[in-house]
Structure formats: C-alpha cells, structure tokens
Structure 1
Amino acid sequence: MRSAPARRYRFRSCRGVFAQQRRYRRAQFPFSLGGRRWALGLQLKPCPGAPPSGSPAPPQVPRAQGTPERGAQVAAADRLRQRARMAERPMWEQVGTSFVHLYYQRFDTSRVELSALYTDASCLSWEGQQFQGKTAIMEKLMSLPFQKIQHSITSQDHQPAPDNCILSMVVGQLKVDNDPVMGFHQLFVLKNISDNWVCTNDIFRLALYNFA
C-alpha cells in the first residue's frame, strides 16, 4: 500500500498535467462552445463578395404581395374549374343550376328583369294565389311589399321531365328588409322554347310550421 505522501504527489502531478492540457487547448482554440471566449482576439476572414465592415446593411427587398392581375387570374381559373365540374353533370342539372342562379340573382338585384324568364302561358302559385301569364306574374312580383331581399340557396335538385322539360326543386332561406330570416321552397318547371329555357310553372311557399 502506497504511503500518504506518495498519493499526494501523484494527485498533484495529475493536476499539473490537466492544467497544462487546458492551457494548450486555450492557446489553440481561443473560444469555447459555450460562447464565453468568442471575443479573445479571434480573427475571422470575410467571405468573398461580402461588404466591408462598418458599411450600411443592404436594403431589404419587400415580400411580393398579391396584385389585382393575380387576383383576376385566380378568379378566372376558379370559374374554369367550376365550368369543368358542371360539364361533367347531366344536361338537366347544368340547365337547372344555371337557371336557379340567374333567377335569384335577378330577383335580389332587379326583379323587373325576371320577365324574360316567363312566357304568356306561364303559371305562378305564390303562397296559394294563382297567376297566369307573364303580365300577371310580373305584377305580383313587383307588388311584393319589401324594399330589399336576399336569397340563400341551401340545396337544389333537378330531374328530367316529359316533353323535354326539367323539374327543379329549391330549398333555401331569404331575408326581407329587417325581418328575421325565413325558409322557403320553390319549384320550377323549365322548358326550352326557341333555344331559350323559360319557366312554365312556378310554385313558391314559405317554410312556416304550425306545431299547435
């Protein structure tokens, strides 16, 4: 067994070796990974093409923003995709969907333009009241007691009918002036007359329920 002085001498020798190794590492690498010695005389060579030290920073290029032309292109692409999807549907669904969109667009913006969608033989049933002919139908629609109306279509279904007609059923909601939102149902029978699709039969009912 070694004596205590021998052990102390060996321990001191090891401490000296470790200290010498630390001094060597500091001389070779004057910085530590912990970030404590980065500023101890370390000289970094600038990268080729870099601006000299002390020069102002180059201006930042702003990120490209959307332009009106880009928005128009996106909208046009969306319309083309919608047309492509519609072209895959049966003919009666294409005609019915287009008619429903046109009908409620004109109803909400300019009701007088609805006259082009009816004929003198068309029939309208509005909340149980019967009207026949374009003139009577337009008198009823133009006399409705509201200033502003907005339709929102929930669902629509279309079927082929005899005599080359199309049956269209619409379920949706409408808001008149400041009144609460109400549901409605509307049924159209469409027929192609002289290469124009017109409404020969129109039935409208509000979705009012009486649970009493």
Structure 2
Amino acid sequence: MNPTSIAEKSTEQFVQFYYPNYDKQRSSLGSLYRDGSAILWNGNAFSGVQQYSEFLGRLPASQHDIDVYDCQPLSAMANAQGATGILINVTGTVKYGDHPAKKNFSQAFILAPDEVQAGNYYVQSENFRFV
C-alpha cells in the first residue's frame, strides 16, 4: 500500500474515532497524545497529555459536525519501518453546552508514527481555531 493510501485510511479512522469521543467520552482521547505533544487550542498552548486533559475536562459538552477533512503524508517523518507522518486538516461546526449557535472551526493535526506499536499513530501537534 502506498503512503497516500495509508494516510487516507488512517485519517478516516482517526476522524471517526476522535470527534465522537471528543463529544461523548473525552477521557478516552488521552491515549492519542504523548508528553511531548504540542497543542494549541484557540490560542491557548498546552504541552502534553495531563494539562490538555484537564482543560478538556472543564469544557462543556460538545457536538461536532465535520464538513470536510483532508490529509497529506509527511515523508520527512518516516520511521525505521517506513511509516510516514500525516498532516490532517479538518473543518466543520461545533456547539458547546447550551449555547444555541454552532461555531465554525478549523483543526490541524500532525500524526507521528508510533515507534513502539507499528501501524499506530499519536498526535504530535494539534491546532484548533474558531473561524
């Protein structure tokens, strides 16, 4: 399978896991991050799993609707097994808490191949922004 096909399949699986769990079971997202993960959430910077998990736990319930997502394999991030990193861009709308209006958002992820578990990825970098 070529890197583009792997990136597309992995991106689809990531998006289908990430957003439903963000909306219903945020505590399950911690396994996607490492202590060195860099996260920027609407201008707020976080470093690592603990700080980000605490922040997510304070947010009200959410409901994401994904409009579109795209991906690009990052061959410069290839590991010893030949797996490449993946750049993912997502756009859609999100509603938080009882607020009636949905807000547009854009989110970018850089997934890095997991060195321990072949075929798995973790979020090396994430940037979320209301638009």
Same fold (TM over 0.5): yes
Give the structure, 1 or 2, with the largest relative contact order (CA under 8 Å, sep 6 or more).
2
Structure showing the higher strand proportion among its residues? 2
Equivalent-residue separation in structure 2 for 1:138 and 1:190 (angstroms): 18
- TM-score normalised over the length of structure 2: 0.85
Show the counterpart of 2:42.
127
- State the 1:90 CA deviation: 1.1
Equivalent-residue separation in structure 2 for 1:104 and 1:114 (angstroms): 10
Residue number among 65, 88, 96 corresponding to 1:152 in the alignment = 65
Residue number among 90, 94, 99 corresponding to 2:9 in the alignment = 94
Which ranges in structure 1 are unaligned for 5 or more consecutive residues?
Answer: 1-88, 208-212
Residue number among 98, 112, 131 corresponding to 1:178 in the alignment = 98
* RMSD value, Cα: 1.2
- State the 1:141 CA deviation: 1.2
Residue number among 176, 186, 190 corresponding to 2:111 in the alignment = 190
Show the counterpart of 2:26.
111
- State the 1:158 CA deviation: 0.2
Q: Give 1:143's aligned amino acid.
A: R
Equivalent-residue separation in structure 2 for 1:136 and 1:176 (angstroms): 20
1:201 aligns with 2:122: no
Equivalent-residue separation in structure 2 for 1:141 and 1:112 (angstroms): 8
Q: Structure 1 segments of 4 or more deviating over 4 A?
A: none
- State the 1:157 CA deviation: 0.5
Residue 13 of structure 2 aligns to a residue whose secondary structure is helix
Residue 112 of structure 2 aligns to a residue whose secondary structure is strand
- State the 1:201 CA deviation: 0.3
Equivalent-residue separation in structure 2 for 1:160 and 1:90 (angstroms): 9
Equivalent-residue separation in structure 1 for 2:97 and 2:52 (angstroms): 22
- TM-score normalised over the length of structure 1: 0.53
Q: How many residues align?
A: 117
Structure showing the higher helix proportion among its residues? 1
Equivalent-residue separation in structure 1 for 2:91 and 2:97 (angstroms): 20
Equivalent-residue separation in structure 1 for 2:58 and 2:107 (angstroms): 19
Residue number among 56, 64, 67 corresponding to 1:141 in the alignment = 56
